[in-house]
A and B are shown apart, each in its own frame.
Chain A
Amino acid sequence: MTTVRLVRRIVVFARRRAVGFNELWRHSLQFRVTVSTLALSSAVVFVLGMVLQNQITERLLETKRLAAIEQTQAVSETAAGELVGVGPESPDAIVARLTNALKKISSTSTTTQDAAGSAAGTFEPVLATGNREQTTAPIAAGPFDKVPERLRQFVESTQVSWLVHSVTDSDGTRTTYLIVGTPLNTATSLQLYLLYPLTTEQNTVSTVQNTLLVGGLVLLLLLAGISNLVTRQVVRPVRQAAAAAERFADGDLDQRLAVLGEDDLAKLALSNNEMVASIQRQIRQLEQFGGLQRRFTSDVSHELRTPLTTVRMAADVLHASREQFPAGLARSTELLVDELDRFEALLGDLLEISRLDAGVEELTAEYIDVRPIATRAVEQVRVIAGTAGSTVELVLPDEETVAEVDARRVERILRNLLANAVDHSEGRPVVLTVGVNETAVAVTVRDYGVGLRSGEAGLVFNRFWRADPSRNRRTGGTGLGLAISQEDARLHGGVLDAWGEVGHGACFRLVLPRDQDVSIGRSPLVLPPADYVPVEPFLTVPGPPEVQPAPDAIFADRDDREEVGR
């Protein structure tokens, strides 16, 4: 149980670590470079170490083997001299002979320290009487049981052979021998085996291995540290640049990078600084230009207002006495007055929007029930609705809906939205809904007209935007109503947005905070409206329940739709 738990814990830990590693890998260039360097260099170190180790081991063995074979040849001559007359003795006598020869070999090899002997090192000699047919069990002197059968077969068929063989002694120590066997040049078939322990070579190899291991590890650590340091030199300026760019994006246009030295990073900082300066300059220019434009609009509007007042008064005089004029003149007078009305409205809107742009408008908010404002707005558009053949429905919450709003502005927003809805309602009903929750008040204006094409929902608040510029400007507003409404909503800290779908009408929603100091949070009313069911067009068209226009009718109507001012 505990082990299972432990394993689970370890797995969880490892997974967490892996996730952390992944995060770090994705985010830190320094980490990535360091880890990559570490991985690549460890591969290189590993391969290098292996090659080195292989080379050393092979050389060691090769040297040992050559020396051992040479030594064996020399010893075999000694042994053959010692055993020159051995033949038809009894087994005991042969053993004694072989033992004596071994003694001689040992004493000779200890006294003569020739080059080959010293390189080959110590050995254990074995003498045996084997023959090729193996008709008799061999008589042997020395540790004959350490000589494996497979080597004996070779040597007994008079081949000088060698092999490497490990023997476990009675006390459990395992010794590896290089065994060289040679047939002796005697009348009887005799073999000499010399067992050279490879202990020294094994020790050397393990020392080399340890050295390589430690050296490799140290090298890897150093490499990791070095790559870390080097990467840091590059990454730190980059990070600084990133931080500067972030601050620049946040509006701190005076943010500059420190230029140190003349290297590539300094060049980068320099060019970045130049770019930032250029951008800053352009932004300033644009700001100045925008301000100039706004002032121009405001000035023009103001300047137009005085002559317009005069023209208006004169037109009013003419309009009052139009019965006295011939019919054509009277008609002209009426037209003049109508267009002057429009002109005045446009001028008012322009002034309003230029005031908003200039930021001089101030919110005179007070806590007030929103429901009466909505009712008032509906009353104001009821006449226009009547001429357009649409009904305006009002859906209000039962309880008092108090919010800190500027009643005039809210009324203007709602009026604009209602007028726009009625304008595009195609004679279908328009519904105004007020919703409320703890933090926000929302008002939606829903119509079931032609709706909006995709992408148009964001454009409707642009000034003088029209969906179809060729369309005749026949009705409605100045083209600034929705823009002003949006500015008004912003002034409240609220949001005005729109939704529309071809054939399903459109819905505009105003969300205002109930308290100017508290943010909106979640809107009480949803967009798209709750009654909209998104389905495949042309299969089931969920329009308003009372009207089910044919698709071709909708397309036909689209041409007539007035979008200016929405």
Chain B
Amino acid sequence: MKRLLLVLLCLLLVGGCANIPLESQPVVVSRDKPAQAPVDVPDPPKDLDALSVAREFVLASAKPGNAYAASRVFLANDERVKWKPAQELTVIGNTFRTTYLPDEQGRVPDPNQQTVVVRGSAVGTLTTSKSFIPSPVSSYEAQLKVRKQADGQWRIVDPPQNLAITGQGFSDNYSRLAIYFYSADSGAFVPDLRYVPTKPASGLPLRVVDLLLKGPSEGLSGAVQNLVGDQASTETNVKSADDGSVVVPLAGVSTLSPDAKNLVAAQIVLSLQSVTPSRVRLLSDGAPLVPGKEYLRASELPAYNVGVAPGSDLPGLMTVGNRILSLGDGAPVAGPAGNGGYDVSSAAQSVDGKRLAVVERSGGGVRLRIGDLGRDLPLAGLTGGSMTRPTWRTSPAGGGASGELWTVVDQSIVARLSLAPGGNWAQSGVNANELTTLGPISQLRLSRDGARVAAVINGQLLVATIVRTPDSVTLRAPRILQPQELQDVVDVDWASQETLVVATSSTTLPVVRVPVDGQRKDSFNSSNLSPPVHGVAAAPNRQTVVADAGGLWVATELGEVWRPQAHTLADAYPFYPG
């Protein structure tokens, strides 16, 4: 009986062995080439003091790779795994201080715990949509609790949700990208500036498409359309194909109209041109997005943004005294505007160059004249104590001559005049409450793509978004650019869709170039200018013209020495169409 049991047991045992196992231990497969060792983040140097730990943490936070592995090493062990930093970043000045929090009265100091205060100047915020918003406040302060660990090292025990990184770290580790969105009003693509981690560079197209599909940032929403819609996504990842093109496989866009598909294609190609020189292969659910145009380059696109820049036949104008002269040959324009028929205070030429608006001094106030260039300029029926230089809105592509112009009356009322069917200029309002509450508006310039407006209020530079509905036009999301640095702005103009050139009355920064989000400022050479500068004119692919006490100066590059304008005159005020 026992033997029988034994035999049965053996049978079961052997029978079990012969089956496919249900579990096994991991077995390493030997490979010919050695495995690529991952780059480990080195531990911080030993025996760093608490202040240095906090400082190094802030510096390391600029590297977002591998889920902030670089900054995680400064955290206590259990926090390393738990820490989930928010997507929003605060950018602070390059110089910041770390100090111990002074002990409170009556509190027994814990020798193993310190609170470090990080203090610096606030620069701005990188939002979750990766756009930069200048900081409304000037200073940044955060507290970090640092505790001595069992191994004698100081480590942060309460890592902040919102990380602060230095401006230098930001520019070193993040790249600025322009994501283009279509504005139906102007028929142009409007850039939306975003900042994505630079490394790994091969992933940049991926991030661009990602951001693009998520739609415009909060600052631009309303001004532009999100063509692709919410259902749009990437079918597989955007990557470089073997044939050298960048493949963008889209999904959820097959229902779009052919026109919209063309626009989407252009939007993607335009956005990608800053990160890859390759052709872009656009696919929708595996098939070409635009039939017949599977592969696209930016240069092969139709000229969508042709209207946003003045034509090359328009050299620009200048106001000298009460006359308007051409910048190209110094000759006065035809008609009363050129021969001193009007007491011209300021003037603006439409982007297409056909129309001219003139603010005429009349009595104690001013009044507006609008008409065709070289002809008599009829009064537009707008008068006031003062008016900013008018600014023309670009007409949609193929929409004929510009039919809308803005000016600020008495530094507080934003007036919008549009050409009524009868040939009269009808005045309508602009909801600019968000701007006017900030102070008197001394300058107002519409961007040539019609999506944004730049203004000077109290000597500060602002950019706001124009949201158009059939009933009204609203200026919203005003942002003061470089509030600390630019305090005495006198004039502003759009150098490109995403760049502004600013003239200030300061001697150190007379002419400054600022991106539309104010993330940085680049000053032009100021060595041979004689401040104060009182005017600036800029346009895409044009020399920047500034007016100082001595006359007009031109420069193309940032560091370039200013050259006298060919037809410079004292007290001239230059302006390009727009």
Known contacts A162-B26, A189-B66; is-contact A97 B237 (Cβ 8 Å): yes
Q: How far is the CB of A149 from chain B (nearest CB, A)?
A: 10
B40 at the interface (CB under 8 A from A): yes
The contact string, 1 if C-beta is below 8 Å from chain A, for chain B 19-30, is: 111111111110
The contact string, 1 if C-beta is below 8 Å from chain A, for chain B 192-219, is: 0000010111111111001000000000
Q: In the complex, A93 Cα to B15 Cα: how many Å?
A: 49
Residues of B within 8 A of A136 (CB): 67, 72, 80-81
A83 at the interface (CB under 8 A from B): yes
Whether A176 contacts B37 by the Cβ 8 Å rule is no
Secondary structure of the A contact surface, majority rule: mixed
Known contacts A96-B233, A164-B21, A202-B20; is-contact A86 B206 (Cβ 8 Å): yes
Residues of A within 8 A of B23 (CB): 163-166
8 Å CB interface, A139-186 against B? 150-151, 153-154, 158-166, 176, 180, 183, 185
Residue of B nearest to A73 (CB): B31
A3 at the interface (CB under 8 A from B): no
Whether A160 contacts B239 by the Cβ 8 Å rule is no
Q: How far is the CB of B131 from chain A (nearest CB, A)?
A: 15
Residue of A nearest to B286 (CB): A107
Q: Which of A127-135, A222-230, A494-502 contacts B (4 or more CB under 8 A)?
A: A127-135
Whether A87 contacts B203 by the Cβ 8 Å rule is yes
Whether B239 contacts A85 by the Cβ 8 Å rule is yes
A89 at the interface (CB under 8 A from B): yes
Q: How far is the CB of A315 from chain B (nearest CB, A)?
A: 88
B69 at the interface (CB under 8 A from A): yes
Q: How far is the CB of A207 from chain B (nearest CB, A)?
A: 13
Number of residues on chain A facing chain B (CB within 8 A): 60
The residue that A57 contacts in the complex, of B19, B31, B67, B233, with Cβ under 8 A, is B19
B38 at the interface (CB under 8 A from A): yes
Whether B236 contacts A82 by the Cβ 8 Å rule is yes
Residue of A nearest to B67 (CB): A136
Q: In the complex, A136 Cα to B66 Cα: how many Å?
A: 9
Whether B207 contacts A89 by the Cβ 8 Å rule is yes
Whether B20 contacts A57 by the Cβ 8 Å rule is yes
Q: How far is the CB of A70 from chain B (nearest CB, A)?
A: 10
Residues of A within 8 A of B150 (CB): none
Residue of B nearest to A72 (CB): B29
A396 at the interface (CB under 8 A from B): no
A280 at the interface (CB under 8 A from B): no
Known contacts A97-B206, A101-B236, A162-B27; is-contact A88 B65 (Cβ 8 Å): yes
Q: How far is the CB of A193 from chain B (nearest CB, A)?
A: 11
Q: Which of A46-54, A269-277, A415-423, A551-559 contacts B (4 or more CB under 8 A)?
A: A46-54
Q: How far is the CB of A566 from chain B (nearest CB, A)?
A: 60
A201 at the interface (CB under 8 A from B): yes
Known contacts A84-B202, A88-B199, A103-B235; is-contact A135 B80 (Cβ 8 Å): yes
A375 at the interface (CB under 8 A from B): no
Whether B236 contacts A100 by the Cβ 8 Å rule is yes
The residue that A46 contacts in the complex, of B11, B207, B240, with Cβ under 8 A, is B11
The contact string, 1 if C-beta is below 8 Å from chain B, for chain A 39-69, is: 0000000100010011001001100000001
The residue that B26 contacts in the complex, of A61, A132, A163, with Cβ under 8 A, is A163
Whether B200 contacts A135 by the Cβ 8 Å rule is no
The residue that A163 contacts in the complex, of B25, B63, B80, B87, with Cβ under 8 A, is B25
Residue of B nearest to A86 (CB): B203
Q: In the complex, A165 Cα to B458 Cα: how many Å?
A: 70
Q: A: which residues have CB within 8 A of B? A: 46, 50, 53-54, 57, 60-61, 69, 81-91, 93, 96-97, 100-101, 103-104, 107, 129, 131-137, 150-151, 153-154, 158-166, 176, 180, 183, 185, 187-189, 198, 201-202, 205, 209
Q: B: which residues have CB within 8 A of A? A: 11, 14-15, 17-29, 31, 35-38, 40, 63-67, 69, 72, 80-81, 87, 128, 197, 199-207, 210, 233-237, 239-240
Q: Can you add 7 more A-B contacts, CB < 8 Å, to A90-B128, A188-B65? A: A50-B14, A82-B237, A85-B203, A133-B40, A134-B81, A159-B28, A166-B23
Interchain Cβ contacts under 8 Å between A and B, 5 examples: A135-B80, A159-B29, A161-B28, A164-B24, A176-B22
The 9 A-B pairs at the shortest CB distance, nearest first, are namely A85-B203, A88-B64, A104-B236, A88-B197, A158-B35, A53-B18, A85-B202, A164-B24, A160-B29
